[in-house]
Amino acid sequence: MRADIVAFMASYARASSGVCHVRCRFIFRLILLGCIAISQVNGQVSLTSAVDRALENSPKILSAEHDVNRAKAALAVTKDIFIPSVVTGGGVGDAYGITLSVPTIFTINAQSLVYSAQQRFYIRAARSDLQAASLALQEARGQIEEDTVLTYLSLDHAQKTAEVVAEQYALALKLVSIVEDRVNAKLENDLELIKSQRVAVQLKLQKIRAENDEMVLREHLAHLTGLPEGGIRAQAETIPAMPSLDKPEEFRESSLPESAGILSAQANVEAKRQRADGDSRYTWRPQVTFGAQYGRVSPIENVSEFYNLHNNYNSASAGVQIQFPLLDRVRKAAAKQSTEDALRSETDLDGMRAGEAEDRLKLQRSIPELATIQELAQLELKIAQSELSSAELQAKQSSGGPLVTPKDEVNARIQERQRYLDLIDANLQLERAKVSLVRQKGELDKWVHSPEGTGAPTAPLAP
């Protein structure tokens, strides 16, 4: 009902036009935003909304964005060194006797780099640093997105688990009551009562754990999205249909692109390599700098008594300076240090690639196993449902066929619920693996915002 009201108000606000409707449109928009906020507080949070809010709320992404801005500024520094920096200064005072330097009222100095063999490599290094920061931001967004999706799926699973375990626990209490009556009627011994009580306690413990898991997942999702913890509830109908993986060759390790994390590390290695090359190209290479100066000679310090200024109190100069560094052991040692740092980064990158390839291979090979476990769980559930239907039918028959007691019927119901729990557990494991595989393919964001297949529950509901 709330969704229908929101949709109607949104369409009305879009259709309203003209000066006389401005105030009405404003009021309707406020009410629309209020309805959306109320729906979120009441737990109406879709998977897409949760992911979008997590991307906006993540401190990790914000830090990565700051790193990108810092890398942009660092690149600007390497380029702006060719733009003259201008400094001005001045002052007044008095002197006794001849001055050691010509006193000036103010001076303007400009300096810049014209040519340096090192600077080309430093600019390339800064560009690689910017690329690495941008890829690190992309990797951070992917991690937050995957974390949110997996948490959302796990919360949906935990909600279903808590509901089913609560049903099981209620059935277990009913079983204890039935066995107590049978013990009082001398149809069962005390050992059967203790066994039924043990089942009830086990399910009670399972119920507590399921509720705790749901609370932890809700708290984590609230931390990711910035929404109040008590107002978050997963909606299975907002989860897009999982990819079928009909073309397994598209998800093979060799066909998957390198992750943004690996590409970021690769760009970081390139930056260190360029910086090491720049450090090693200092000696025996020219450095050309530009310099200019203007000064206004002070007329109040008797300068004309010691210098023949010809009544010209302006002083200006401009030119370039060429330097050839011949020997610098400090720079040489620094170049060695940066070279070793680049080599270490290359070794670490090789290790990261090997680790990613291994993880992808494990994940890829786990898909068929998890799919088989899911298929087996579906068959087990069908068997349990068939046995439950048979027990219910036999319990209603007055004669003929084996006798089915209320105790047997309750046990069959508990068993059927347990098989359903096994199925949704298998579904969750397969879904988590598929989400990770889709993210490695670089299509997780496309899947999250995909309208195809929405509205389908993630697990078949048992009757």
The 10s digit of each residue's pLDDT in 269-278 is: 999 999 999 9
**What is the pairing mode between strands 104-116 and 232-233?**
unpaired
The pLDDT value given to residue 9:
45
Q: Is the pLDDT of residue 249 over 70?
A: no
Tens of pLDDT, residues 90-141: 877 666 666 667 778 889 999 999 999 999 999 999 999 999 999 999 999 9
From residue 124, alpha-carbon distances to 75, 191, 229, 287, 326 in Å are: 9, 79, 47, 18, 25
Q: Residues 6 or more apart from 120 whose CB is under 8 A from it?
A: 278
Question: How confident is the prediction for the chain on average, in pLDDT?
Answer: 84
Residues whose CB is less than 8 angstroms from the CB of residue 290 and which lie 6 or more positions away in sequence, other chains included:
84, 110, 111, 112, 113, 114, 318, 319, 320, 321
CA 122, 128, 133, 136: dihedral to nearest 10 degrees?
A: -150
Query: Which one-letter amino acid corresponds to residue 231?
Result: G
Q: Does residue 36 carry a pLDDT above 60?
A: no
Per-residue pLDDT at 296: 86
Give the separation between CA 145 and CA 150, rounded to whole angstroms. 9
What CA–CA distance (Å, rounded) separates 302 from 306? 8
Q: Helix-strand-coil percent breakdown of the chain, rounded to 5?
A: 70, 10, 20
* Continuous H helices in 280-396: 329-396
Q: What is the pLDDT of residue 457?
A: 41
Would you give the end-to-end CA distance of the chain in angstroms? Answer: 26
User: Looking at residue 43, what is its pLDDT?
Assistant: 57
Q: What are the sequence ranges of the domains in the chain?
A: 1-41, 47-448
- Domain 47-448 belongs to what topology? Outer membrane efflux proteins (OEP) (1.20.1600)
